[in-house]
Amino acid sequence: MDQSQLTKLVKDKDLDHLRHFGGVNKVASALESDVNAGISGEPDDVSHRQRVFGINTYKQPAKGFFHYVLEAFMDLKITILLVCATLWLGSGIKENGVKEGWCDAGSTFMMVLLMIAVSAVSHHWQNRKFDELSPASGNILIDVIRKGWWQKVSIFEIVVGDVVCLKIGDRVPADGLFIEGHSLQVDESSMTGESDHVEVNSNQNPFLFSGTKVADGSARMLVTSVGMNTAWGEMTSSISRDSSEQTPLPARLNKLTSSIGKVSLAVNFLILVVLLIRYFTGNTQDKNGNQEFVVGQTTGHNIINSVVGIIADMAMIMVVAIPEGSPLALTFAHAYSMKRMMADRVMVRRLSTCKTMGRATIIRDDKSGTLTMNQMKVTKFWIGLDSVKENTYSSVSKNVLDLIREGVASNTTGSFYRPSLGSEYEFLGSTTEKAIISWAVSQLSMDMEDIKKRCEVIQVEAFNLQKKRSSVLIMKSTDDTVHVHWKGAAEMVLAMCSSFYDRSGIAKDLDENERMRFEQIIQGMAASSLRCIAFAHKQVPKEATKEKKDQKKIQEDNLTLLGLVGIKDPCEESTVQACQDAGVNIKMITGDNIFTAKAIATECGILKPQDEAFTVEGTEFRSYTPEERLQRVEKIRVMARSSPFDKLLMVQCLKQKGHVVAVTGDDTNGAPALKEADIGISMGIQGTKVAKESLDIIIHDENFASVVKVLWWGRCVYDNIQKFIQFQNTVNVVAHVINFVAAVSSGAVPLNAVHLMWVSLIMDMLGFLVLVTELPTRELMEKSPGYQTQPLVTNVMRRNLGATYQIAVLLTLQFKGESIFGVDEAGKRTLIFNVFILCQVFNEFDERNLEKKNVFEGIHKSKLFLGMVLVTVILQVAMVEFLKWFTDTERLSWGLWGTCVGISAVSWPIGWAVKFIPVSDTSIFIYLRSKSQELVRKILYRRQ
């Protein structure tokens, strides 16, 4: 069979063709695979299959570098600059000849081309980085069988012929055929739009599609198509990706940029009006010092040339002066933080998520493996009412131990294997399953493969959060007897039992007295932070095997209790405390009983004696009225025995109360809450694919400390963006004020279009590179999350604004520069331009921290910052000293260079002194609005 036949077979659900070919076994044979052992998995075999059948990735139409060049050319800003430069070139050549007339316009053309190049390179680089990040964020480990052993491989390494093991919550990784399984139901809504679950079996419907989700049951499938050859691949091939997101912070940035742009246009339009008025009133002079416009004497040709030149100059300044660096800075900050978090095995799927996480006020967490250290181990074992020590298992009845081994081996979704002789066993599955299997193998000498050969699995009821238990119906090949094995939460299983085995193997009736003693044992383990799991058994008649055909449930009454195990997992109190110090509350919502949940919460520091917080069970929370839930939800710290609906209900209540909610989870039952939350976080590589479909962040280590890192980086992104906004606002305010005052007073602007393009292109680019890549600091975790809901430009930023000193210095140079330093007009313009740029260089140091007085702390670690500052200074020296024709400047002496540096460096002590001035947390606009409302109320009161 070739690839086209395989694709058509599954896509068309052609059951007749499959049967005509010989069934799934024949297809596996044709693909040189085995339905039981899978493929060999050797590197040569895998690479050969990838060459023949393709790789399991979904390629999207890629945009080349020249696409971004064309996109930059079509930008309205660039178009206006090119038109103005062309007009300027024409008037310059006409007035001064070709040899000299092209210089001013030529430098503008060069700067515009440089802007296009930088824009294209930055956008191409950004998209390439996200193309690199996207596969990493979607890299999920899949259970496959190769060489007869269970293994975990990347979803991208799945090949045609692989045998994939599916369980509840998994996303089908490729198109394939059903081999065998139990009660498999698949959600195909992503393909068909139908919400009803589809039953998949070997008789009527053995076809599985990539992208669909396992809603119930478990199975093994044979992969027949991967990547773009799957039905899902065909759908995605025609969809072009749009990575742009209009989320709250970008929207606020765009609004701020738009406001600044409008003010910039208004100021520059006012400057244009002033220059035209000065020209027509005879207050301007040409290069020879003669009056440019004389009524009745100046020809119309000269008037047109002069007016066109003024309009072209100001149009270019208007366009260049509009700030556009903030959105790009935000994108770069997100990409940089995402890249850094990848080193900690944290994958952020969406740009906005990191920032949203930074303002989270509630983290709703499942205890399993996240608040704990994910090192689960069986530490207690009870047979009947006796606790069995680790080295005394030989005193327990062999029959009871055999039944426990049988129950562990057959009633599980986990497994283990030994990669090579002499190596340690590796265990697969959830943390609980791995702990139980590890204990059974090491302490009970369980031979899982031998038990599975001797026991035929007839029916399976998978574990879910409603029942808190799972079961299996098996038939022993040795004596053809049929047995039921149950495993799950101890109190749930205990309620199903009518008898129990003691350590001698004698079955005893479970009367009310013994039942109460067992409940005390369970509560005692729970109070010691142990997760208590019970095993139960029952031998049933052979007729029970027919119940599967009748779709009857496995018998769950009159069971015999085999034993209890207590599983311990140490807690991480320090990370919980770090979140609480940052003003973020942790709520633990778990399926454990209330005693275990309270013990874990107390050990982790979620519950404290002096707090008013309390614990509830899911049923109690569900029974509250909507008003009661909203009233109590903030005080609830722990919710035990919770269902998926309870989790969803709590998230909805918290959001109604105005909280930004982050939810962690690793199972399908948590998917509704994950999707409803502001941020959904998958914890651990065993997190099901349905959960991962609903979330924003994937953390490959079941470690709550990683959640704290995401919180830390989210705040860092916001803080760095504020630094860049302040830096950019300083540049814009100074440039506009100095140009406006100079235009009104002298009829000329000292900072021309080339100077402003240089600032916009180089200073903004280098500015955001050095400011948005600053690493997180401990002080960020001491702030309340509410600080991110304040305006982007805060009172602290207004206080720190270094524009006042710069404006004073530049205006002094504008009016007194020639007499103070003994330079001509061109020398004065050069001094103004040079001091303006160097002030921004020194200002970058002040913006490293908006509140701390010591801005040099940790500067030696910021190699990128120091490197970019050095590059800026070198480029500025080159602009002034070697590119006179380009920037319309004059070379400066060593003395003047020292003066420029000294004047600019004064901004450091001024910035340090300014930070001693206290500021209010209330926005000045809110303060003025409240005062005006208060004044209006007083006036109305007096009138009454």
What tokens does 892 get? Answer: 């400066």
Q: Which residue in the list 143, 170, 366, 846 is annotated as catalytic?
A: 366
The maximal CA–CA distance of the chain, rounded, in angstroms, is 125
How many Å apart are CA 272 and CA 926, to the nearest integer?
A: 34
What are phi and psi for residue 181, nearest 5 degrees?
A: 175, -170
Distances from the Cα of 756 to the Cα of 268, 313, 720, angstroms: 13, 12, 24
How many Å apart are CA 124 and CA 115, to the nearest integer?
A: 14
Distances from the Cα of 809 to the Cα of 150, 271, 742, 833, 905, angstroms: 73, 21, 13, 12, 12
Contact status, residue 221 vs residue 208, Cβ threshold 8 Å: yes
DSSP string, 61-123: PPPPHHHHHHHHHT-HHHHHHHHHHHHHHHHHHHHHHHHHHHHHHHHHHHHHHHHHHHHHHHH
What tokens does 334 get? Answer: 């997100």
Residue 502 a catalytic site member: no
How many Å apart are CA 656 and CA 648, to the nearest integer?
A: 12
How many Å apart are CA 216 and CA 780, to the nearest integer?
A: 44
Contact status, residue 685 vs residue 141, Cβ threshold 8 Å: yes
Amino acid (one-letter) located at 498:
S
Q: 552 exposed, middle or buried (CB, 10 Å; 0-12, 13-18, 19+)?
A: exposed
β-bridge pairing 507-509 and 530-540: unpaired
How many Å apart are CA 508 and CA 503, to the nearest integer?
A: 11
* Of 237, 174, 160, 240, nearest in space to 207 by CA: 174
Q: 884 exposed, middle or buried (CB, 10 Å; 0-12, 13-18, 19+)?
A: middle
How many Å apart are CA 120 and CA 74, to the nearest integer?
A: 12
3-class secondary structure per residue, 115-135: HHHHHHHHHHHHHHHHHHHHH
Q: What is the dihedral of CA 73, 74, 76, 81, to 10 degrees?
A: 30
What tokens does 400 get? Answer: 């009871």
3-class secondary structure per residue, 658-682: CCCEEEEECCHHHHHHHHHCCEEEE
Contact status, residue 406 vs residue 544, Cβ threshold 8 Å: no
How many Å apart are CA 152 and CA 514, to the nearest integer?
A: 44
Q: Which residues pair with 522 in a beta bridge?
A: none
β-bridge pairing 207-208 and 585-589: unpaired
Residue at token pair 């129950």? 407
How many Å apart are CA 944 and CA 940, to the nearest integer?
A: 6
3-class secondary structure per residue, 779-813: HHHHCCHHHHHCCCCCHHHHHHCCHHHHHHHHHHH
Contact status, residue 618 vs residue 646, Cβ threshold 8 Å: yes
What tokens does 600 get? Answer: 């874990």
What are phi and psi for residue 456, nearest 5 degrees?
A: -90, 120
β-bridge pairing 679-683 and 697-699: parallel
How many Å apart are CA 439 and CA 434, to the nearest integer?
A: 8
Residues identified as active-site:
366
